[in-house]
Amino acid sequence: MSELAIRAIRLAKEYEIGEAQHNTLRDQITARLKSLFRPSASASSAQQRFWALRDVSFEIKKGEMVGIIGHNGAGKSTLLKVLSQITEPTSGRAEISGRVGSLLEVGTGFHFELTGRENVYLYGAILGMTKAEIDRKFDKIVEFSELQQFLDTPVKHYSSGMYVRLAFAVAAHLDPEILLIDEVLAVGDLAFQQKCMQQAQRLRDSDATVIVVSHNMFSIKAMCNRVLYLSHGKVLADGLPDQVIPMYEEAMLGGKGALDTPRWAAPKLERDPARRAVSITDMQVLDSSAQPRTMFDFGERVRLRMRYTIRRPLPTANFVVALIRSDGIGCCNYSSSLDGFQISPKVGDGELDLLTPPLKLVADLYSVHILVWDEHFQRLHGAQIGGSFHVRHKLLSSQFGVFHELGEWTSRPVEPLNSPETPPATKVEIR
């Protein structure tokens, strides 16, 4: 039986929503004044408490590479903070066997007024390295970070990507037996991300345990042999990436086959979907030849087939399809009105196809939101979330923004100023 690196036993962490740490006299006075106007009922105080983790139990064996996925606020970062002993659990316990290195939040453990060189020693000491150990590994740390020319610059002048470079370089050379990586690598450039992932793989090959939190399902699939899926502070699934990731992706869309109402749209619509002027009853994701598919290569066209029911005449029905990336970024939308296409306003059922142009979106998971506005985008008649699909590309990720189009590049030699070949300037007198 393999040796355990981590055992979590009924971990729970509770926070108070909206409560700040009162470290100064001003904070304490402000908090006291606020309390005079705050309801004192127990129900009110109960509403301000939030369980970031609840009854979380699992075991991770030495040498495993585990991905942790879940929606924003699922408890992923809180779990890593508990495992790295930055945060104490409210109840339960975590048993850690081995030296832990963690890369959680950009700049954690750095002093902004100190230089990069000084922060290597400070951060290394925080992680548990001795000065002699840091001295021995210093040149390798700096070489890995690629920040040689900025080493004696105060880190307050660093970009977020530079923070990550330096922090990861130190954490990786701690030679940890357990490495915890949060989403912070997303702020680094692609080449450095790949370098960090290769280092994480080398650590795993040396029998270290690596835990990665990420919204990038491609990275999780490529790196991890196991995935924990968190939702609202609880473990919903624990297993192979190909088994767990589809559960997460379905849940993001409200369940397989579901056509839920986006949260932002609910107040603008009838509460009962059956009373709305229009509803989407089905949606299929197809390729350009109308075959069902959910994985598309960069530059392919996607056909979205919608069935709908109109319950009241809509003379200016404007169907809008929005493509929303897994991190909640709205990437593009298509409007029947803006595209000059008229849809029959008559009461009854209908079917509508949208064939997108070649999609130049970066590689990620995209959900499809279907909205029905009037032609001036003033009144919302219907809004639902349909299916989803992946765009695949070996290089282009969300680090490149939303989309990528080829630019037209030209270059030309530039003559030096005041060269003999340069004709004298002509003097022009303006009257």
Q: How confident is the model over 67-113, as pLDDT tens digits?
A: 999 887 789 989 998 998 888 999 999 999 988 877 776 556 788 88
pLDDT level of residue 37 (50, 70, 90 thresholds): low
CB 208 within 8 A of CB 219: no
- This model's pTM is above 0.75: no
Q: What is the pLDDT of residues 352-399, one digit of tens each?
A: 999 999 999 998 888 899 999 988 888 899 888 877 888 888 778 776
Mean pLDDT of 397-415: 86
CB 282 within 8 A of CB 350: no
Rounded CA separation 238/94 (Å): 17
pLDDT above 90 for 30: no
Domain check: are 195 and 341 in the same one?
no
More confident residue, 59 or 189: 59
More confident residue, 50 or 117: 117
pLDDT level of residue 22 (50, 70, 90 thresholds): very low
How long is the chain?
A: 431
Number of domains in the chain: 2
More confident residue, 235 or 15: 235
Domain check: are 179 and 113 in the same one?
yes
Helix, strand and coil content of the chain, in percent to the nearest 5, comes to: 30, 30, 40
Which residues lie below 8 Å from residue 364, measured CB to CB, with a gap of 6+? 216, 218, 325, 326, 327, 390, 391, 397, 398
Domain check: are 273 and 225 in the same one?
no
Mean pLDDT of 317-337: 90
Mean pLDDT of 130-135: 92
Domain check: are 153 and 286 in the same one?
no
Rounded CA separation 141/9 (Å): 35
pLDDT level of residue 24 (50, 70, 90 thresholds): very low
Range of the domain at 113: 4-23+46-246
Tokens 């979380």 locate to: 56
Domain check: are 276 and 242 in the same one?
no
Q: What is the pLDDT of residues 410-421, one digit of tens each?
A: 999 998 876 555
